Amino acid sequence: MAKSHPELLDARAGHPMLRTRNARVTVTLVASLVSLNVVWSNVDGIGPHGVATHDLEALDVSPPAAEVPPAAPVVDRKQQALGAYLARRFRVSTEMTTDVVAKAYSVGAKFKLDPMLILAVIAVESRFNPVAQSVGGAKGLMQVIPRFHTEKFEALGGEKAAFDLQANILVGAKILHEYIRRTGDVAEALQLYVGAGSDENEKAYSDKVIAERERLNEVLKQFQSRSRSAERRTPAPPATAPG
């Protein structure tokens, strides 16, 4: 039966013999619990749940430490200034261009490649449009054609990573680095990168990229010159008298 009748329960609860019997059962139960607790406390090194006390002390019950996210790459003032210049010039987000500049420096260090050359290729190829796509299938900042470099994209998530900033710069810089090693000449490597020949009449692309690199280097020189002038104009802090 799922439930007893309420009146029957009340009548039984009021009977004197039942009250006496309930009291005896209660006293017996309490005495048994006290005895059991004494037995547990007398067992050497055993806690109330059957776990050795020394094991309880060694058990790590502290909450797990919060996972610390990786630190964002540090962008120095020079990279910030270059990112701001590129954003104004190509009318895109300063946050995005500054991120691209930082990645160009990081990837350039990985391949021992001039970051200004990477940025110059990006400027010429896509004008800093990360979702640029040509009719020939070239994609992203450095206009890489994924179907020609599938093995380079495999470790980065496949061809779909072509529009990812880091992946596109990484693959594009790797291709350019391989061409420079093969030819031993930056201009010829750039011609291979764009798929043009090395004939003198076909060097318009490499000349354009190299001219862009020089422009970016000039922007950095002007920033560094202004920074040095500002430091010279900044008054030195007053000397503190010896105590």
pLDDT for residue 55: 39
Write the pLDDT tens digit of every residue in 199-214: 655 689 999 999 999 9
CA distance 176 to 110: 13
Asked if residues 136 and 202 have their Cβ atoms less than 8 Å apart, the reply is no
Asked if residues 119 and 100 have their Cβ atoms less than 8 Å apart, the reply is yes
Write the pLDDT tens digit of every residue in 131-174: 999 999 999 999 999 999 999 999 899 889 999 999 999 999 99
pLDDT for residue 196: 75
Please list the residues that pair with 139 across neighbouring strands.
133, 144
Write the pLDDT tens digit of every residue in 51-110: 343 333 433 434 444 444 444 555 799 999 999 999 999 999 999 999 999 999 999 999
Q: Where are the domains of the chain?
A: 77-229
The two tokens of residue 182 are: 């093969």
Write the pLDDT tens digit of every residue in 2-43: 333 334 334 444 444 434 444 454 444 445 444 444 433 444
Pick the CATH number of 77-229 from 2.60.40.1220, 1.40.20.10, 3.40.50.720, 1.10.530.10: 1.10.530.10
**Confidence grade of residue 228 (pLDDT, cut at 50, 70, 90):** confident
CA distance 63 to 55: 18
pLDDT for residue 6: 39
Asked if residues 104 and 115 have their Cβ atoms less than 8 Å apart, the reply is yes
CA distance 85 to 102: 14
